[in-house]
């Protein structure tokens, strides 16, 4: 809490300002800025709202953060702002967990159905006016391994279970009888459980431990014909290794919403692979999501002003909101 003093809020947003900030503007001096002006906006600022959550400009402007107490990012992932200077500081970091859970779960169910029912081939045949009868797969009873057991992973697990699929999770700690996953395997044992899954869904946060976790060894451990879905972070995957197993036909397909380089370069072989579904980092973006992000920030802003506990406080050493903190919130 900063008492009766009017706080100064820097908002990193580029050209697209966040919608409906009137209530916050009535309570704070708001400095909207793009990347080039971030250092100036941070000087004397009490809080920073990183609305442009794909920007990597915060570390370069950190030297100007002379009064900053709180940083909020408008995404679930915090890797663009989690650098040594922030980790070592007393600045509280919060994120927007909870906004995208349901939408991303629906995306995952959608691509699972697209693979099983061969929707892309049906669309291609329709465009050619070609009538070709085929049989499709059932998803009921198929096994799914969701790698990442945070709120998004749990939402995915619940929806896929409701569709009749058999779901397990992989996370930091192993457990049994989990309400959403049933069995949760320790990430350190991931490769021994990959052969059991027909679908592997990556939704883990990006940390030093998870970067590049899906490499040639992991893909080789997967069941022949299995499908891989990445709605977490592009850097979870060694892209060249994924391309290799797709080319040799070991994997049955991949649905990729995130990439280690975005936008995906035009020369990437992923664009033209028949068994790959590509979307431009949009699995969680539903109609009205920008307003919802502002609502989440506004609620935390009110709490911050009132000296109340903030929601979605990130453990800066772990790189995500601990599950016990989520239960308390």
Mark whether 63 is an active-site residue: no
Distance CA 13, CA 115 (A): 37
Structure tokens at 282: 């949009």
Q: Pick the catalytic residue: 158, 281, 290, 303?
A: 281
Mark whether 281 is an active-site residue: yes
Q: What is the DSSP string of 14-78?
A: TTSPPS--HHHHTTSEEEEE-STTHHHHHTT-SEEEE-STT---HHHHGGG-SS--EEEESSS--
Mark whether 133 is an active-site residue: no
Other Cβ atoms within 10 Å of 75 Cβ, number: 20
CB 51 within 8 Å of CB 35: no
- Phi, psi (deg, nearest 5) at residue 102: -65, -40
Q: Pick the catalytic residue: 72, 172, 233, 311?
A: 233
Q: Pick the catalytic residue: 217, 262, 302, 308?
A: 262
Distance CA 250, CA 197 (A): 14
- Label residue 121 left, alpha or beta by phi (over 0 means left) and psi (-120 to 50 means alpha): alpha
Residues with catalytic roles: 233, 262, 281
């Amino acid at each position: 809490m900063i008492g009766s003093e009017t706080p100064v809020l820097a908002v990193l947003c580029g050209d697209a300002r966040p919608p409906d900030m009137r209530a916050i503007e009535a309570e704070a001096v708001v400095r909207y800025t793009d990347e080039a002006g971030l250092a100036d906006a941070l000087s004397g600022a009490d809080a920073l709202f990183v609305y442009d959550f794909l920007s990597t400009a915060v570390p370069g402007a950190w030297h100007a953060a002379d009064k900053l107490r709180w940083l909020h990012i408008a995404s679930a992932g915090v890797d663009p702002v989690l650098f040594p200077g922030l980790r070592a500081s007393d600045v509280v970091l919060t994120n927007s967990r909870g906004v995208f859970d349901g939408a991303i779960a629906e995306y995952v169910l959608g691509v699972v159905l697209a693979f099983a029912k061969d929707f892309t081939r049906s669309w291609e045949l329709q465009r050619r006016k070609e009538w070709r009868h085929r049989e499709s797969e059932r998803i009921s009873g198929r096994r799914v391994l969701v790698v990442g057991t945070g709120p998004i992973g749990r939402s995915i697990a619940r929806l896929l279970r409701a569709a009749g699929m058999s779901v397990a999770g992989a996370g930091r700690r192993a457990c049994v009888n989990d309400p959403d996953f049933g069995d949760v395997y320790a990430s350190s044992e991931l490769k021994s459980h990959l052969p059991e899954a027909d679908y592997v869904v990556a939704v883990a946060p990006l940390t030093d431990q998870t970067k590049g976790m899906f490499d040639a060894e992991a893909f080789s451990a997967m069941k022949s014909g299995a499908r891989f879905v990445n709605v977490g972070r592009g850097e979870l995957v060694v892209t060249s290794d994924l391309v290799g197993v797709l080319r040799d036909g070991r994997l049955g397909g991949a649905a990729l919403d995130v990439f280690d380089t975005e936008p995906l370069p035009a020369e990437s072989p992923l664009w033209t692979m028949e068994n790959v579904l590509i979307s431009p980092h949009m699995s969680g973006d539903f109609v009205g999501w920008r307003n919802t992000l502002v609502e989440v920030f506004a609620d935390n802003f009110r709490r911050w002003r009132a000296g109340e506990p903030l929601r979605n406080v990130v453990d800066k050493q772990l790189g995500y909101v601990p599950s016990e903190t989520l239960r308390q919130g």
